[in-house]
Amino acid sequence: MRLALPMTIGLAVVLAAAACGGGAAPPPPAPQPNQDSIEAARREQATRDSIAREQARRDSAARAQAEADRIRRQRESDSLQALAREGDAVKAMIARAVHFDFDKSNIRPGEDTEILDEKLRVLQANPGLTLEITGHADERGSDEYNLALGNRRALSAKQYLTGRGIDAGRLTTKSMGEEQPVDPAQTEDAWAKNRRDEFTAGGSATLRRP
């Protein structure tokens, strides 16, 4: 019976310790974020957002400018091409020759007057334009005669144009006689081609279609 007392005391001690909160200690409380750190993070994020918006704005402006430049260059290219096409068309009008009957220097009505009227309109639309008119003859006749005949043919075209209001100072004439045939054959068709006036433009750099 004396042995039971120590066991009773030991049990009581254990129970008392448990009742007093013995065992593992509770974990420490989690640290609370510092308010200054939160504000600093917010300001940093706002700065990054502002930089990103500004960069996006600049990128958009750069794209818009690049597109505007591309459109401008395309329009300039289209305009230059249109001017070149127009200039080529006017040069073709100027280059058309008029032809003459055998041993004649008068301008024939019909196609030849229409060709000269076309040149008249070109000259009127391009005040800076000048023309050199070169008269030609076929190979029949002497060199001297054909030079004189070519000169008369060139003067006929000049008089046609000046008679319709073109200043004579814009038109010059010369004769090549039989020296520059377009067709060297000795046939009626070749001779008909060679009896002609040719026209060369000068003065105006940009030609406008009438």
pLDDT for 140-197, tens place per residue? 999 999 999 999 999 999 999 999 999 999 999 999 999 999 999 999 999 999 999 9
In a domain, 34, yes or no: no
More confident residue, 27 or 149: 149
In a domain, 39, yes or no: no
Could you give the CA distance from residue 69 to residue 144 in angstroms, rounded to a whole number? 62
User: pTM of the prediction?
Assistant: 0.63
Tell me, what DSSP letter sits at residue 170?
G
In a domain, 102, yes or no: yes
In a domain, 166, yes or no: yes
In a domain, 43, yes or no: no
Identify which of 111, 113, 94 has the alpha carbon closest to the alpha carbon of residue 210: 94
In a domain, 21, yes or no: no
In a domain, 10, yes or no: no
CATH number at residue 134: 3.30.1330.60
Q: What total number of domains does the chain contain?
A: 1
Host domain of residue 183:
48-210
In a domain, 20, yes or no: no
116 phi, psi to nearest 5 deg: -70, -35
